[in-house]
Amino acid sequence: MAAKTPVIITDKDEMRKWSRKMRSQGKTIGLVPTMGYLHQGHLSLVQEARNHSQLIVVSIYVNPGQFSPSEDLSTYPSDFGGDILKLKSVPGGVDAVFCPKNLYDYNYNKKQKNKNENENCVAVGGDRVVSCVEEKGSGHETWVRVERLEKGLCGKSRPVFFRGVATIVTKLFNIVDPDVAVFGKKDYQQWRIIQRMVRDLDFAIEIVGSEIMRDSDGLALSSRNVHLSPEEREKALSISKSLLKAKSAVEEGQIKCGELKDLAVQKITQAGGRIDYAEIVDQESLEAVEEIKNPVVFCIAAWFGKVRLIDNMEINI
C-alpha cells in the first residue's frame, strides 16, 4: 500500500476551510499538536489519534509564546522534510499537516512582518516577565491561563511557559476545530492543564493522554535529546532509573515522599545532573503530597550540560 501524502496547509483560513469541508462530510478530526523535529514518541501520538478519529491533522509550529527571551527558541531543532517522511511512514498516514509561519502576525508592526519568528529574542529591561511574542512587539495581548495547575513543577522555573502553551493550543483548537486532541504524558503538567482548560472553557474536544515512549535504554524520547553529547545522554539515564527505583520502593511499601525524592535527587546529582525539581504530586490536582495514599505521579526536571530534560512516572496504588 502506497504511503499517504498529507496535504500541507500553511494558512489558518485554509486550515479552517479544510476542516469545515471534512466536517460537512461527516468526518471526525483528530489533532496532534507538535513543534516538529518528530520522533517515535510523536508518531505514537498519531497512531493513538487514529483510534479516536477518522482524519488526522498534525500541527508543526514552534510557539514563541511559550519561550522566554532567555530560553532556547532559536536553537530548537527542526527538520520539516524529515518530519513529513516520518508522518508518511505511520500506518494509515496523516491527512493534513498544518504548519503556519506565524500565528501571532496581525500586521501590528509592519517592520516586523517579515522577521523570522524563530530568531533569538532578547530580554527586556525591568522585572516584567515576557515571552518572545511580547518582546517582538506583535501586538498580541490575550493569554489563556490555568491559574493553579500552572504554578508548580515546570511553572516555577518557566513562568511564561504554560500560558503560552494554553494560548497556542486554544488558537489551534479554534483553527483546526478537532473532535479529539492527543498529548503525550511525558509533558504531564501540560496534559493536565489542557484537560482542565478544555473542561473550564467548554471546548467540545476530547483530550487523550498517550503513554511515554522511551528508547530501549529507558530514556524518554524528546526532540531536545539531539543536543546531548554521548556522555551526557548516558548520565541522563539516571532520571528514568531513579523513577523506576522509586516506583519499586512504593510497591514494596515505602510511602514517605521525602525519602523517595531524596534518593532520586542523590542519584541524578551523582550522575552529574542539576536538579530543577523532583516532586511527587497528585495525578489530577498536581498538588504535592507527603505520603502516597492515592495515585500520584513522580515528576523530575534536570539539566545535563545545556539540556533540560523532563520525565515522570505514574504510581498507582
Active site residues: 42
> Cα separation of 122 and 138, whole Å?
15
Q: Rg for the chain (alpha carbons), in Å?
A: 20
* Helix 80-88 and helix 40-50, axial crossing angle in degrees, nearest 10: 40
Q: Following DSSP, what letter does each residue of 52-63 receive, concatenated?
A: T-SEEEEEE---
Give the residue from 169, 126, 127 showing the smallest Cα distance to 150: 169
What lies within 8 Å, CB to CB, of 166 at 6+ separation is 143, 144, 145, 146, 150, 193, 194, 197
In 158-256, alpha helices (H):
161-176, 188-200, 230-251
Contacts 24+ apart (CB under 8 A), 266-272: 267/238, 267/241, 267/242, 268/238, 268/239, 268/242, 268/300, 268/302, 270/238, 271/235, 271/236, 271/237, 271/238, 272/232, 272/235, 272/304
> Cα separation of 312 and 295, whole Å?
13
Give the residue from 301, 29, 95 showing the smallest Cα distance to 310: 301
> Cα separation of 182 and 180, whole Å?
7
